[in-house]
Structure 1
Amino acid sequence: MARLKLDFPEDQYYFSTQLTVRVTDINGANHLGNDSMISMISEARARFLFEFGVQDSGAGTGGVGIIVTDLATTYKTEAHARDQLLFEVGVMDFNQYGGDITFRITRPRDGKLVAMAKSGFVFFNYKTSQVTPMAPEFLSKFPKVNRLD
């Protein structure tokens, strides 16, 4: 099986936030579990979207928010309980309806790269259950992002 390779341009990170690995995030192998990493990526995504004025659920925006279409993650080193992790968040590959949110996750204590991730998203009208075009206001916040359409 071919290995997944995630590599993102340095200039596409727009936001960063720190999260702490909790004891309850540790799996039977005594490191950060995959399920907990996905939860942490989701939290970093939610903080990023909030910072840029986008609500995931569409509440208060006429029902329009975003919905995740896919997620890819590569792991580079283990993380353990009480590790502080830095989530750098960016966007790339915009199309008419959405694009990719990217994540570089490092451990500032030793500078180690813990993981890379990409989450595809589209704008979604929760009232009609339909994909909807990306709002120009969102697009204008990221003038350097390449477009695929």
Structure 2
Amino acid sequence: MTDTPTDAIAHFTARLTYETDVSDVHALLEAGTPGLVVVDSRGPQAWAQGHVPGAVHLPTAEIALRAPAEIPRDADVVTYCWGPGCNGATRAALEFARLGYRVREMLGGYEYWVREGLTFQTRTGREHRPADDLTAPRRAVSCDC
């Protein structure tokens, strides 16, 4: 192994700089964090099926065209897509970074938002499902990690 502790520190620091998780995004939204813009990068059918309340719907293919007019330049952008099996949030974050935005990717995406028992928005209103005990404790908002 050629990695040094310094390499590991740089790697994990970079990850924490550019990635966040569902629990942290939920806490930021609940706190009303100024300048936070959560972006759902999925297509229209996925958006209609459900999304994070307060998120902006901006499919990845439309970011370069629409973001400069719709997302404040000084925003703290967080992107998400379906879940850990999809790299759509990564591609969306890259598009925002190319445009000069501060951006992070929400790990777990919409799947883990719902699986952690958080409220989500559908065409018919707000809904939630019980927390999946493989992703979150049943009676707490986060795993306290």
When the two structures are superposed, what TM-score results if normalisation uses the length of structure 1?
A: 0.25
Structure with more strand by fraction = 1
Structure with more helix by fraction = 2
